Structure 1
Amino acid sequence: MAGHGHNHNHIDPDAGDARVLWAILVNLGLTVAQVVGGLLAGSLALIADALHNFSDAISLIIAFAARKIARKPADSQMTFGYGRAEVVAALINYTTLILIGAYLAYEAVMRFFDPQPVDGWLVVIIAVVALVVDLVTAALTFTMAKSSVNIRAAFLHNVADALGSVAVIVAGGLILLYDWRLIDPIATLLIAGYILWQAITEIGGVIRILMLGSPPDIDAEAVLADLRGIDGISGVHHLHLWQMQENEAAVDAHLVIFEGQWHAADAIKSTAKARLAEQFGIVHATFELECAVHACHDAPVIGHEGKGQHGHGHAFDSRDQQPGSR
């Protein structure tokens, strides 16, 4: 998939802090109420929901701290800046979700072998209050979640918790109507399954950023083709394409300039940067220019050679064109 029309969302970095703080406070308060209610009612599902709700609060605290850290300017220790603090926070939050989901699944299975009496009314009342708080928290973070992987991780924590509250309400209702105790661990398993599915689905994109993977919406081959199509460029190699942050792609590459075109090298470089910005939304581009006569020898098109394999000579990659062959 080519990256044409690559979207960059720019938002006020200070926007939303108050909303995140309110979301933290209401989730911490709800967690206390759910734990007390779960213990009094004897409901594992309600305690499971409380545990997940507590993780919501922790995830929001981590997200809030990461937002603050990410705004720090670049310095001699972090020359790319601190923007990836939000990506690290997202990784922590998704990993936490996976651990919570696995723990809840284990507890639910154990409860199947040892069913416990459950106070259905208390479960339903507390779960309804929890659902209201979950919806309020989701509303507070919904807009920011669209443009931040960090806030999105916290938001998805909350969405899972809202669904968990619905499951607990249903479980409490069935206990009241039919005294069906097994519905409590069944509801817990449903909550755990959704948490695991959600976290495993989302964590891959976060790992991709931290592993310096190419942006999922930008095709490296399309970038190479665009660069090769620029007048004056006879070849491209050592291409690196990655995400500096969630919404900021970057590229560096060696551009081989046709023999006799070195006088236009600066203009060719400017054209290449403008082309990538226009076609792919890549605004951070670094190019090393090489004259065709002295280009790197047997250089890989993507990535670098292994240690000690650097060489220079009159050579091109397999798709380079000789002067006059266009």
Structure 2
Amino acid sequence: MSEHHHHDHGTEQVSDKVLLWTTFVNIGLSVFEFIAGAIAGSVALMADALHNTNDAAALLIAYIARKVSRKGADEKFTFGYRRAELIGAMIQLTALILVGLYLVYEAIRRFFSPEPLEGGWIMAAAGVALFVDVVTAWLLWSMSKGSMNVKAAFLHNLTDAGASVAVLVGGATIYFWGWNWVDPILTLLIAGYILYMSLGMLRTTCRILMEGAPPDLSMEQVQATMMDVPGVEGIHHLHVWELDEHHQALEAHVVVKRSQADHDHELNIRRALKQRLQERHSIQHCTLELEYPGDPCGSSTNNLIEHE
């Protein structure tokens, strides 16, 4: 199920090093922006620093996940270690939402109690941040072609560059025209973006951990696909869930016609079901229990479908 990890052995270790170095670079940038924000008195700069801290954490999680995922399944974790990344993401996103709410509070407070700002420091720090964001995006660009996870990090880094441009422009307005009110407005915009992205990712993470069905999958279409296989008379106890964001699994009880109850027909039905589910719905892992009409079933027969 993880064949996409093996198509580029020559660059695998290089990719790991790139992820690790971009993590260190973003951590360094965050520390620098925190210090510069404190000196300049800019909440927007601190908000951008927190945003970069989140990026560094995301890159570190991606790096650790690549290492952990290579362990594969064992006796204690028979499904493998894929969801370690989800647990890390849950912790990270929860903390980020709290940070976003604090930034909203701090921005509103600055409207009523403005503080002096150093526009020159804000411009300098935002310029450094923009440079680092562009370099990080460049480093991730070649890796993004073979990994959806890294592609998401690459696109996220481009949006960071946009936030740095906004802070840079805000610093210029403060430096040249003394518009200190721009800083809390930028803070609200960055905090709003952080909350919007975090809440959306948190919903996705919770759905996977709760073994919810993939959002773009129609259970009715899945049932129809299975019922179209010759010899299938009914489906019940149908469950579809995500092992992680890239792998889907299905289990079901399949009622087959007793007239076709020999071993070869069972193998053909099972093979046809798995092939169609893979081709039409990208479900890679299927566990199918074949039954015959009238056989006792250990669970209630909810979701039973019969031919008209």
> Which residue number in structure 2 is paired with residue 132 of structure 1?
131
Q: Give the C-alpha shift of residue 256 in structure 1.
A: 0.6
- Alpha-carbon displacement from aligned partner over 1:78-100 (angstroms, at most 9, x marks no partner): 11111122222333333333222
Deviation at 1:164, TM superposition (A): 2.8
Residue 36 of structure 2 is aligned to residue 37 of structure 1: yes
Aligned-partner Cα distance in 1 for 2:110–2:135: 31
Residues 1:155 and 1:106: Cα distance change in structure 2 (over 3 Å): farther
TM-score normalised by the chain length of structure 2: 0.87
Choose the corresponding residue for 1:299, options 288, 298, 301: 301
1:217–1:84 Cα change, 3 Å: same
Q: Which residue of 1 aligns with 2:45?
A: 46
Give the drift of 1:54: 2.4
Equivalent positions of 1:276-315 (< 5 A) are 276-296=277-297, 299-301=301-303
Task: Measure, in 2, the Cα distance between the counterparts of 1:160 and 1:100.
Answer: 19
* 1:58-97 deviation line (CA, Å, top 9, x unaligned): 3322332222222211011111111122222333333333
Please state whether the residue corresponding to 2:79 is helix, strand or coil. coil
For 1:282, what is the secondary structure of its paired residue? coil
Q: Distance in 2 between matches of 1:211 and 1:273?
A: 24
Alpha-carbon displacement from aligned partner over 1:120-155 (angstroms, at most 9, x marks no partner): 112101101101112222333455498445x56755
Greater share of helix residues, 1 or 2? 2
CA offsets, 1:247-267, max 9 Å, x none? Answer: 111111001111221112222
Residue identity matched to 2:279: E
Deviation at 1:174, TM superposition (A): 0.8
- Give 1:276's aligned amino acid: L
CA displacement, residues 258-288 of structure 1 (integer Å, 9 cap, x when unaligned): 1221112222112211221222222211111
Runs (5+) with no aligned partner, structure 2: none
Query: How many residues are aligned here?
Result: 298
Aligned counterpart, 1:200: 199
Pair 1:268–1:138, CA change in 2 (3 A): same
AA aligned opposite 2:286: A
How far apart, in 2, do the equivalents of 1:248 and 1:234 lie?
Answer: 28
Question: 1:234 matched to which residue of 2?
Answer: 233
1:20 is matched with 19
Q: Which residue of 1 aligns with 2:81?
A: 82
**Deviation of the 1:110 alpha carbon:** 1.4
**The residue matched to 1:191 in structure 2 has which SS?**
helix
For residue 117 of structure 1, what is the aligned residue in structure 2?
Answer: 116
258-267 vs 291-300, greater mean Cα deviation = 291-300
Query: For the aligned residues, what is the CA RMSD?
Result: 2.5
The one-letter code of the counterpart of 1:320 is E
The residue type paired with residue 10 of structure 1 is H
Q: What SS class does the counterpart of residue 242 from structure 1 fall into? A: strand
- Give the % identical residues: 45
Letter in structure 2 aligned against 1:300: N
Counterpart-to-counterpart distance in 2, 1:113 and 1:182: 10
Distance (whole Å) between structure 2 residues aligned to residue 69 and residue 21 of structure 1: 15
Specify whether residues 34 and 108 from structure 1 end up closer, same or farther in structure 2 by C-alpha distance, changes over 3 A only: same
Q: CA deviation at 1:9?
A: 8.6
Describe the SS at the equivalent of 2:193.
helix
| Alignment check: 8 A CA contact 1:94 1:153 kept | no
Q: Secondary structure at the match of 2:258?
A: coil
Shift in Å at residue 112 of structure 1?
1.5
Distance 1:146 1:193 in 2: 31
Report the CA distance between 1:245 and its aligned residue.
Answer: 1.9
Contact 1:93 1:153 in 2 (8 A): no
The one-letter amino acid paired with 2:306 is D
- Structure 1 unmatched runs, 5+: 1-7, 302-316
Structure 1: which amino acid aligns with 2:4? H
Hey, what does 1:320 align to over in structure 2? Answer: 306
